[in-house]
Amino acid sequence: MTGKDFVLFDVDGTLMDAVANQRRVWHEWAARYGLDGDEVYAVALRTRPVETFAAVAPGADPDECLALLNALEDEDVRTGTYAAFEGAVELLTALPADRWALVTSNYEHRVRGRFERTGLPMPALVIDAASVAEGKPSPVPYLTAAEKLGADPAECLVIEDAPSGVRSGLAAGMTVWTVNTPAAHPDAHRHFPTLAEAAPHVLAALG
């Protein structure tokens, strides 16, 4: 693979192990509306919150839905148990600060809270759910990151764990590597079972 100028990271499942937290929050949210937690969480994995509400609770007030979700997630940031994946701190610290960014479906203040608690450094740029009109798997989040970095999409390496994120990066015309899953996404350019195994290759790709 030719060298890349920028690295764009997903957060949950890629840099930080927060899957159990996300599942618990969505199950608590679903219980408040008398919905099945597993069914709601399955939808939430594929869509942004506003789209999840429309799909699972079309008769509910979306503002109230979001207010409850925000309260549950903010409480989790303060009190939840989660950790950065092995090698994440070292990898992010080794990257030039102006050549990497976060592209997340979460909100920046929660990412900052979790990063502070786990010792992960923050980049100069975070593209979060409030930054874009369309979430993953749309290419918009990754294209927005490239634009703000002044980068050509072809210069960007995306590190992802979720199918929707992989599709987003590929649709943006970027090179996509997957981490932290047993098997590779069929369309990803490269796969590593763990972030720690990917780290030296990420640094080498950035040159």
CB 192 within 8 A of CB 179: yes
The three state secondary structure string of 100-164 is EEEECCCCHHHHHHHHHHHCCCCCCCEECCCCCCCCCCCCHHHHHHHHHHCCCHHHEEEEECCHH
Q: Which of 12, 17, 128, 161 is catalytic?
A: 12
Q: Which one of the listed residues 10, 76, 128, 161 is annotated catalytic? A: 10
Identify whether the C-beta of residue 183 lies closer than 8 Å to the C-beta of residue 166. Answer: no
Radius of gyration of the chain (CA): 17
- Are 159 and 177 within 8 A, CB to CB? yes
Spatial distance between the Cα atoms of 63 and 175, rounded to a whole number of angstroms: 37
Bridge partners for 159 per DSSP: 9, 177
The token pair that represents 205 in the structure block: 């790709």
- Active site (annotated) includes residue 10: yes
DSSP character at residue 7:
E
Residues annotated as catalytic are: 10, 12
